[in-house]
Amino acid sequence: MATLADSFLQDLEDLEEEEAVPGETKAKGNKNKAAQVGVLLAGDDSDDEIPDAIQVFEQGEKSGTSSISEMLKNDEFQKLMDEVRERKDEQPALELGKQLSEEDTEYPLITRCNSLVREIDDEMLNIHRFVRDIYSKKFPELESIVVSPLDYLQVVQRIGNTKDLSTIDFSDILPNTAVMAITVTASMTAGTVLPRQELDKMMVAADEAFVLNDCKRDVLLYLESRMSGLAPNLSALLGAALAAKLITAAGGLLNLARMPAQNIMLVGSTKKALLGMASSAYHTQGIIMMSDLILSTPLEFRNRAVKLVAGKCGLAARVDSFHESPLGQVGTQLREKILQALAKAQEPPPARQKKTLPPPEDKPRAKRGGKRHRRIKEKYGQSEFKKLINRVKFGLDAEENIYTEEWGLGIPFFEGKPQALKSQKVSKEKQLQQHIKAQKRQRTAAAAGSESGLSSSLAFTPVQGIELANPNAQRKAPDVGEKYFSNTAGFVNIAQTPRPA
- The candidate with the shortest Cα–Cα distance to 456, out of 468, 464, 465, is 468
* Nearest-5° Cα angle at 321, 320 to 324: 50
Which range is least confidently modeled, 146-160, 223-237, 485-499? Answer: 485-499
**224 or 331, greater pLDDT:** 331
Residue 335 has pLDDT above 90, yes or no: yes
Calculated CA dihedral for residues 138, 144, 147, 151, nearest 10 degrees = -30
- 305 exposed, middle or buried (CB, 10 Å; 0-12, 13-18, 19+)? buried
**pLDDT tens column, 431-476:** 888 888 888 888 877 666 555 555 556 666 665 666 666 655 555 5
Q: What integer pLDDT is reported at residue 28 of this predicted model?
A: 44
Band (481; pLDDT cuts 50, 70, 90) = low
Band (375; pLDDT cuts 50, 70, 90) = confident
Mean of per-residue pLDDT scores for the chain: 75
Residue 317 has pLDDT above 80, yes or no: yes
Task: Judge contact between 100 and 226, C-beta under 8 A.
Answer: yes
Band (128; pLDDT cuts 50, 70, 90) = very high
Q: What integer pLDDT is reported at residue 127 of this predicted model?
A: 92
Give the number of other Cβ atoms within 10 Å of residue 465's Cβ: 8
Band (212; pLDDT cuts 50, 70, 90) = very high
Residue 352 has pLDDT above 90, yes or no: no
Residue 192 has pLDDT above 50, yes or no: yes
Which range is least confidently modeled, 106-115, 229-238, 410-419? Answer: 410-419
Band (226; pLDDT cuts 50, 70, 90) = confident
Q: Average pLDDT for residues 143-150, to the nearest whole number?
A: 88
Residue 20 has pLDDT above 60, yes or no: no
What single-letter amino acid sits at 403? Y
End-to-end CA distance of the chain: 189
Band (43; pLDDT cuts 50, 70, 90) = very low
Question: Is this model's pTM higher than 0.95 or not?
Answer: no
Q: Please tell me whether residue 194 adopts helix, strand or coil conformation.
A: coil
**55 or 178, greater pLDDT:** 178
DSSP states of 220-264 as a string?
A: HHHHHHHHHHH-HHHHHHH-HHHHHHHHHHHTSHHHHHHS-HHHH
Q: What integer pLDDT is reported at residue 417 of this predicted model?
A: 46
**pLDDT tens column, 73-83:** 888 899 888 88
Band (161; pLDDT cuts 50, 70, 90) = confident
Residue 53 has pLDDT above 60, yes or no: no
Q: What integer pLDDT is reported at residue 155 of this predicted model?
A: 92
Q: Is 211 left (phi over 0), alpha (psi -120 to 50) or beta?
A: alpha
Q: How far apart are CA 234 and CA 257, in angstroms?
A: 11
Tally of helices (H runs) and strands (E runs) in the chain: 20, 6
- The candidate with the shortest Cα–Cα distance to 56, out of 70, 77, 38, is 38
Q: Average pLDDT for residues 144-159, to the nearest whole number?
A: 90
Task: Judge contact between 399 and 410, C-beta under 8 A.
Answer: yes
Q: How far apart are CA 290 and CA 307, in angstroms?
A: 14
**484 or 263, greater pLDDT:** 263
Band (429; pLDDT cuts 50, 70, 90) = confident
Q: Please tell me whether residue 333 adopts helix, strand or coil conformation.
A: helix
What single-letter amino acid sits at 343? A
Highest mean pLDDT among 105-109, 172-176, 310-314: 310-314
% of the chain beyond a pLDDT of 90: 17
